[in-house]
Structure 1
Amino acid sequence: MKKIFKILLKIVLGLLALLLVGFIVLKIVFSEDIPQGQKGAPSDALGYEILEAINHKQFTEVKEIHWTFAGINRYVWKPQQNAVDVFWDDYKVAYVTTYPQISFAWENGVKLEGEELQEAIDHARKSFNNDSFWLIAPHKIMDIGTERELIEEDGKKKLLVRYKSGGTTPGDVYVWEVDENNRPTSFKMWVSIIPLDGIKAEWNDWKMTAGGFPMATSRSMYGIEIPVSDVKVVK
């Protein structure tokens, strides 16, 4: 029995060592520093050009946006009301984005209170912040609490966006690349929830929505699709 235990222990330690080595290698590969650029009018000008390229005004006027993330979280977002219904498992949260404390939640149709209510609201808040970002991130480049820098490299203009406040993980940084029409094609990110620096995500296959603004229908990292599905825009 002791011999079997020693063998299993060696296997476990060996796997842990391999994982550690793998992480160190990835950390070395993805150790890109955050670039520095020019703040002020030039960076804001590019930001507004990007918003114009994706019909941001029309985006702000839509009635509802529906989508599902990772086949788990389902959303009915009502931007004009600063509200979103968040569904997962047997839960529903009527989440108020501007005043989360007045949100309501149910489990199997039973209204939640106290600690259970707060846990459901917290889950809805974190999920919505993450999942909506993957849906409409380009529209958030000029949000309150952001700072921008114009990056010029390889003959291209890029926009660095730093989220100084708001959201779930303030301090995150994204560097957007755009095409010749200023439509976003990808970003690199330096974010607290990913321990690797400069990970790149592609934003492709832009198609016009019923709301009069285009939306990327393919979002991926190194060939792996970000699981956004069942998107519906109600004007």
Structure 2
Amino acid sequence: MSAKKTLKIIGGILVFLTLPSLLLFGFLYFKYDEDLPQGISGEQADVVAQKMLEALDYKAFEDTAVIEWTFKGRRHYKWNKEKHTCAVEWEDYKVVLDLRHHEKSKAFVHGFTLESELAKKYIAKALKYYNNDSFWLAAPYKVFDPGTERQKIDLPHDQTGLLVTYTSGGTTPGDSYLWLLDENYNPTAFKMWVSILPIDGLEASWNDWTTTETGAILPTFHKFLIFGIQNSYIKTSF
């Protein structure tokens, strides 16, 4: 087979593999991409945020000392809010994160303690997992976290939205989330303007909730495009 024909075949394979992806991206981009909205900051936005927290019984969440859950069936967490620690387990690894002093975190594989650079690698990985996965569990309760900015957004059909921008902290500072609220200020979904997604304004549901043993209200499932994000085996204690 000549080199020219080989290149032609390779080119055809590349087009075959990439064209559907490009068409899908183009469809999603023109269907969903939207600019970051601008609203009213200050007291009006803070009132909306407070009403959302009240709808979710924020006090019950605050009074909860320990939350355990499994994210997408892949990673298990035991988050001790009082002690500011979180045990993260996946595959053969376990990392006990110190959420205030990351350098005090410990990493293990098959029960053996990891040291030096290898420990740092898996501690950093666990922290990244925790930042992402705990957000899908507790994001509504983070609207007044340090480094957050809030705006009240007027939406169609007399609905109210709350835009929260994280200017610092987490893994990807600068991300923004627009909470869509029902008439009782319960969050039903949010739209995302985040650095890891190439399309702005994509929406994920927040309407599958469970009331846990301590009264904390936590989400069990999110629908995101054709994907599902599940929080399972949720347990809480004082």
1:19 positional shift: 2.3
State the Cα distance separating 1:172 from its structure 2 match.
0.5
Q: Which stretch shifts more, 209-218 or 179-188?
A: 209-218
Structure 2 Cα separation of the partners of residues 227 and 205 of structure 1: 10
1:210/1:233 contact within 8 Å kept: yes
Query: Per-residue displacement from partner, 1:50-100 (whole Å, max 9, x unpaired)?
Result: 111111122112121111112211101100000000001111111011111
The equivalent of 2:192 in structure 1 is: 189
Pairwise CA distance, 1:233: 1.2
Quote the residue 1:221 is aligned against.
224
Q: Is the 8 A contact 2:219 2:231 kept in 1?
A: no
Give 1:142's aligned residue. 144
Between 1:205-214 and 1:83-92, the stretch displaced more is 205-214
Residue 135 of structure 1, CA deviation: 0.8
Quote the residue 1:36 is aligned against.
38
Match of 1:63 among 54, 62, 65: 65
Deviations 1:97-121 (A, max 9, x none): 1111110111111111111011111
2:208 alignment partner, one of 202, 205, 210: 205
Structure 2: which 5+ residue stretches go unaligned? none
Answer whether contact 2:32 2:200 (CA < 8 A) is retained.
Answer: yes
Contact 2:212–2:234 (CA under 8 A) maintained in structure 1: no
Please state if 1:176 is matched with 2:193: no
Segments ≥4 residues shifted beyond 6 Å: none
User: CA contact under 8 A between 2:176 and 2:193: conserved in structure 1?
Assistant: yes
- Retained in 1: the 8 A contact 2:33–2:202? no
Equivalent residues of 1:61, 1:80 under 8 A apart: no
Distance 1:204 1:30 in 2: 20
Identity %: 42
Q: Give the Cα separation in 2 of the matches to 1:208 and 1:232.
A: 10
Instruction: Measure the CA separation in 2 of the matches of 1:128 and 1:11.
Output: 39
* Preserved CA contact (<8 Å) 1:55 1:214: yes
**Partner residue in 1 for 2:24:** 22
**Deviation for aligned residue 1:198:** 0.5
1:124 equivalent in structure 2: 126
- Distance (Å, rounded) in 2 between the aligned partners of 1:211 and 1:100: 28
CA distance in 2, matches of 1:187, 1:199: 8
Matches of 1:21 and 1:224 in 2, distance apart? 19
Paired letter, 1:156: Q
**How big is the shift at 1:223?**
5.1
- Matched with 1:166 is 169
Correspondence for 1:12: 14
Residues 26-50 of structure 1: CA deviation (Å, up to 9, x unaligned): 2232320011000000000111111
Q: How does 1:67-82 map to 2 (within 5 A)?
A: 67-82=69-84
CA–CA distance in structure 2, aligned partners of residues 216 and 125 of structure 1: 21
State the distance in 2 between where 1:35 and 1:103 align.
39
Question: Please, what TM-score do these two structures have when normalized by structure 1?
Answer: 0.94
- Give the equivalent residue in structure 2 for 1:93: 95
Which residue of 2 is the match for residue 50 of structure 1?
52
TM-score (norm 2): 0.93
